[in-house]
């Protein structure tokens, strides 16, 4: 039997957990509902044992405490922290306007005015965080979300850290290779401020060009390009944008432009609106300490509850960011970091077809019941694209297949899905209306 669409609900404290929005090495992010207020939030769930084993407790405590103090319109807010015996739960603002990257994937590139507006918001956020001693270290379009009003929100400070070394330099190479500054990769120590500025410059280039300034099939070739800042601006960039990018993407961090200078740049200042917000006088961080101490009195428990009685199609139509239209493939254009399709084939046949299609594309397949993980070949470009798939039974002869990017670059996922979906054509169910459309007049 394949997995039924009805599932037992899980409650953690006053939050009812929903679908997984993303996952990484140390954490998983789920949508959740505050049952007392009805508001939706995002919950980042960390494995407590993993955090202890990697001696990350003090770093994460400091990081969460600092992020709770950061209340900025362009940075995702942390509301509270809880813990159970096995998990740490970080309750975050839910931003449901999608990734900024989705706009690039859909439109190819943004016009210069729109790109500048997002870049201004990004610089505002990064400048404020730097003033509080927080460095992101993994800035890229996928970590830039939009709310329903189109306001930029910087997310995922999971790799941020604090300058504690005696020389004031950071020494951990991390981040996504195409967006990281050359000094991060050469392991001689680097300044978190200037390396974040470099990443902001790469993001600005991607927003206006629709592609990366530094992109090579292997890391050594990419590293050589980064170290020389070997890139060329497209002809449609204005002279002001080209000049600013040249100063941001300077391989020498000591010569690289600073944020105060960016704020005074003529191209940057066009239409600039300084952020307006009021800082809270008092922010309680006692919950952070309580979540990490050994006392059991503050622990919450995960408990299962019976699902609400509803049929599968009701359940699907009520899901966040999902409606019945997408079941029938009406929108063929935009694939984000997740997508789904329906099939009238038996579950085993669907699983076999996915495996058969993924392997020639350079993916290792790990199966567990009706869940599969497709792991990109290590020798592939950027190496570690991973895609989680799951098959649900929504009616006796109808299955819903969900695919979600859980690792790697979104651009890689888009390219993968284009090739992958063409190999699945014979198992995808089209409604009669769409079947008529595809057969032509």
For CA atoms 218, 156, 147, 340, the dihedral sign is positive
**What are the residue boundaries of the structural domains of the chain, listed by start?**
3-94, 100-269, 312-425+433-437
Listing DSSP states for 51-110 in one string gives HHHTT-HHHHHHHHHHHHH---TTBPPEEEEEE-SSEEEEEEE---S-BHHHHHHHHSS-
CB atoms under 10 Å from CB of 73, counted, come to 16
- Is the domain defined by 312-425+433-437 classed in CATH 3.30.310.80? yes
Report the distance separating Cα 205 and Cα 222, nearest Å. 16
Per-position pLDDT tens, the chain of length 441: 444 444 567 888 889 988 887 776 667 888 899 989 989 999 988 887 777 776 667 777 777 777 777 788 999 888 888 888 888 888 989 888 888 888 787 777 899 999 999 999 999 999 988 887 777 777 877 788 998 888 999 986 543 443 333 334 433 444 457 888 787 777 665 567 888 999 999 999 999 998 889 887 777 888 888 888 889 999 999 999 999 999 999 999 999 999 999 999 999 999 998 887 666 555 666 677 666 666 555 666 666 655 444 445 444 444 544 444 444 433 344 456 667 788 888 888 888 889 888 888 888 888 876 778 888 765 444 446 788 888 877 776 778 888 878 777 676 777 788 788 888 888 887 544 344 444 444
Known binding residues: 44
Tell me the per-residue pLDDT of 284-296, one tens digit each, with 9 for 90 and over: 666 776 666 665 5
Which active-site residues does the annotation give?
138
Complete edge-to-edge strand list for the sheet that includes strand 9-12: 78-83, 87-93, 40-47, 27-34, 15-23, 9-12, 302-305
Residues facing residue 79 across a β-bridge: none
Known binding residues for ATP: 44
- Is the domain defined by 3-94 classed in CATH 3.30.530.80? no
CATH number of 100-269: 1.10.510.10
């Amino acid at each position: 039997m394949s997995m039924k669409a009805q599932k037992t609900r899980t409650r953690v404290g006053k939050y009812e957990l929903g679908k997984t929005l993303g996952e990484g090495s140390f954490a998983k992010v789920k949508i959740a509902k505050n049952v007392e207020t009805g508001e939706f939030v995002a919950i980042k769930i960390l494995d407590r044992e993993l955090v202890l084993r990697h001696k990350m407790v003090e770093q994460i405590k400091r990081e969460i405490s600092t992020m709770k103090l950061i209340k900025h319109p362009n940075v995702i807010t942390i509301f509270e922290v809880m813990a159970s015996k096995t998990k740490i739960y970080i309750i975050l603002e839910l931003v449901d306007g999608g990734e900024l990257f989705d706009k690039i994937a859909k439109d190819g590139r943004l016009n210069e005015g729109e790109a500048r507006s997002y870049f201004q918001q990004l610089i505002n956020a990064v400048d404020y965080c730097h003033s509080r001693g927080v460095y992101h270290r993994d800035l890229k379009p996928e970590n830039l979300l939009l709310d329903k009003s189109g306001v930029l929100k910087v997310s995922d400070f999971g790799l941020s850290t604090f300058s504690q070394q005696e020389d004031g330099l950071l020494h951990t190479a991390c981040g996504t290779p195409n967006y990281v500054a050359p000094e991060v990769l050469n392991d001689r120590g680097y300044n978190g401020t200037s390396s974040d500025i470099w990443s902001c410059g790469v993001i600005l280039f991607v927003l206006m060009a629709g592609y990366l300034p530094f992109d090579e099939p292997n890391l050594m070739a990419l590293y050589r390009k980064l170290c020389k800042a070997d890139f060329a601006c497209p002809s449609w960039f204005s002279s002001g944008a080209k000049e600013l990018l040249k100063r941001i993407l300077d391989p020498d961090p000591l010569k690289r432009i600073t944020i105060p200078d960016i704020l005074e740049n003529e191209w940057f200042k066009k239409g600039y609106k300084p952020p307006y917000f009021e800082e809270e006088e008092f922010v309680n961080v006692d919950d952070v300490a309580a979540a990490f101490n050994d006392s059991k009195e503050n622990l919450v428990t995960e408990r299962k509850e019976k699902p609400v009685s509803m049929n599968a199609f009701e359940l699907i139509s009520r899901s966040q960011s999902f409606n019945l239209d997408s079941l029938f493939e009406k929108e063929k254009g935009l694939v984000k970091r997740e997508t789904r399709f329906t099939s009238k084939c038996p579950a085993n046949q669907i699983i076999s077809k996915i495996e058969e299609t993924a392997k020639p594309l350079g993916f290792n397949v790990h199966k567990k019941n009706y869940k599969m993980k497709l792991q990109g070949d290590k020798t592939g470009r950027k190496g570690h694209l991973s895609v989680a798939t799951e098959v649900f039974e929504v009616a006796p002869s109808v299955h819903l297949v969900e695919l979600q990017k859980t690792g790697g670059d979104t651009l890689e996922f888009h390219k993968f899905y284009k090739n992958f979906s063409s190999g699945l054509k014979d198992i995808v169910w089209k409604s009669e209306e769409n079947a008529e459309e595809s057969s032509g007049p």
